[in-house]
Structure 1
Amino acid sequence: MVSMVAGSNAALTAENPDLDTAMIGIGWELVPSRGSQSEPVSMVIMCGQDGRALSDSHLVFFNQIASPEGSVAFAGTEDREQIDIQLNRVPESVGKIVVLVYVDPDVRGPGTFAAVRNVYLRVADNRDRELLRFNVPRENMDKINAMILGELYRHAGGWKFRALGQGYETGLSAIAADFKLKL
């Protein structure tokens, strides 16, 4: 298992040539509160080579749990969220698959990641053998309400993973602007 830091890359398919399904596990802990509490929500955006979302139907989240062709789908809850990506079924038009978490303002009102601890993303094979793990640094969490954890991207005929931990203070509106979405 490879432990990653923000900005680092790992060759998934070059180092694991039999990898045809990658499971993305996302987890966090919430500090108990007597008042309203943030509700983190996971989302995946399938992007073209230009870095933009292919379309609004290429978002995978709680209201749309699979991509149009079924190559990306929410699968289990052994972590807080699990997403299966069938790498050989991802359309050629997809250049990268972005994994993010945001604080849902519709559930308990506006919030931040201040009460969210130990955020991680892990990539495992179809036997749940962990290939890599990214423990997100806890910087400025009291200001952040959306965060790109990492991305799977095509490289030299295979797939790589980049750990990011890029936070946003303006939530889904910033995500929509960056990826040209109509959220």
Structure 2
Amino acid sequence: MKTSFSLVTAPALVVVYGIVRLLDGRDGERGPGLAWTVGHLAFFVALLLFVPVLWEMRRLAGRGAFATGTAVCAGVGVVCALVQIGIDLVVGALAADHSDMSRMFSEVQDVPGVELAVYAVGPMLFFLGLLVAACHLAAVRAVPVWQAGAVVLSVLLSFLGLDLLPVSGLLMVAGLAPLARRSALVHVKQA
């Protein structure tokens, strides 16, 4: 899969997830059901596509130890977030109703270490890694400051609340999509 595809599609799927999540919550509850599943599948695929995005950001930053460490930390965050989304999908598929979902989530989160690794700290590594990678790209002048700023603002908005994910995703598209053309040109020259 081409990196340029991932640079556009990963953040676009964050927008999709955010919109579906808002629609799912119109009745005051989220999940289980089709909207829950579709939204979570969109985010699951987005996370998978962020792996080549992170690796491309590493390449653009010069492939040094700092860039590599940032990509690896963010990659660990992706894995943790994928586990979380996987749990969400399974619970959503098995639960009869919202209260059944709550009970199942409580059981999963009561397992020692799961709350911390899969729900609290682990996924944050992805967002922090993305933020640091964007700042690093601006610092080494691989991208304009506005482009890195869009990614940074996107991450900061996502920390404020999941209801802001559609806007956060659009900012991510603005910050990452310009890299798609550049990535495609690099890969054409290497071919």
Structure 2 length-normalised TM: 0.29
Q: Whose helix proportion is higher, 1 or 2? A: 2
Structure 1 length-normalised TM: 0.30
Task: Name the larger-Rg structure.
Answer: 2
Q: Whose strand proportion is higher, 1 or 2? A: 1
